[in-house]
Structure formats: C-alpha cells, structure tokens
C-alpha cells in the first residue's frame, strides 16, 4: 500500500509559479512511477507529468511541456511539480498518483496508476 499526500496548491495570477509536493509513504517497492494528474469541473482527468523512479525518465502532456517540471527526491520519497508561466486553463484539482512495476516505457502511458492522493487545488486568475 502507498499513501500519498499532496500540498502546495494555491491561487495565483496568470504568469505566476507554484510548486506542488507529493509525499509518499508505506510502499516497499523501489521501482515505480509517480505522476501528476488534474481535473477541472466538467472535464475528464488528464495526465500532466510523470516520472519513472528507476531511471528518472520523465514525460509531459503537450499542454505543459516547457512550463512544468516534475522531479523527485528519492530519499524523502517526495515528488515535485514545478509549474511556471501558469495560465487560467491550468486551473484544476491536481492529484498525485503512483503505480508499482513501472518502466521507462510505461511512464509515457499515464495509465495503470492505482494509488491516489486527495488532491490540491490550483487556481490561476487572468
């Protein structure tokens, strides 16, 4: 079992920056993927960024490439999402997720995540 706790959500002006954090606990797996997803009212949940802990491979949705950066501190079991040049369309509830038995290929699928955090709200105003 993996427990995930997100933090860092806030309200910012367009063009601003935020850093989300996701602290993981309880997992005995050393090789897995962690990802950030988001969902806004009336829209389906979408993958934003993911990282494969085995090789630090990262993957991003086209909508955030060049603006968002996912990183991890393996010692702290924490994953971060640095979000720069935020746009109003980035407004959403952001969820951290984890999956075991991942790979540098599977990290690109945004699928198979079976552990989820409670979410943290990001609001970007114009």
pLDDT confidence of residue 44: 96
Q: Which residues contact 3 (CB under 8 A, 6 or more apart)?
A: 24, 25, 26, 115
Rg for the chain (alpha carbons), in Å?
14
Q: Could you tell me which of 54, 49, 5 has the C-alpha nearest to residue 25?
A: 5
Backbone angles phi, psi at 69, to 5 degrees: -135, 125
pLDDT confidence of residue 67: 98
| Cα distance between the two ends of the chain | 40
Structure letter (DSSP) for residue 46: E
15-31 pLDDT, tens digit each: 999 999 999 988 666 66
pLDDT confidence of residue 48: 98
pLDDT confidence of residue 30: 62
pLDDT confidence of residue 31: 61
Token pair of 44 as six digits? 């389906």
Residue ranges of the chain with pLDDT lower than 50? none
Neighbours of 60 (CB within 10 A): 19
């Amino acid at each position: 079992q993996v427990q995930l706790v997100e933090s860092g959500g806030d309200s910012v002006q367009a063009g601003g920056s935020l850093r989300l954090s996701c602290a993981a606990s309880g997992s005995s797996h050393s090789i897995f993927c962690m990802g950030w997803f988001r969902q806004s009212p009336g829209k389906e949940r979408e993958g934003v960024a993911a990282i494969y802990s085995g090789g630090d491979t990262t993957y991003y949705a086209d909508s955030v490439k060049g603006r968002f950066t996912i990183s991890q501190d393996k010692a702290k079991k924490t994953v971060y999402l640095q979000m720069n040049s935020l746009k109003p369309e980035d407004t959403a509830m952001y969820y951290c997720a984890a999956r075991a038995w991942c790979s540098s290929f599977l990290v690109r699928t945004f699928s198979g995540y079976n552990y989820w955090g409670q979410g943290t709200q990001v609001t970007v105003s114009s």
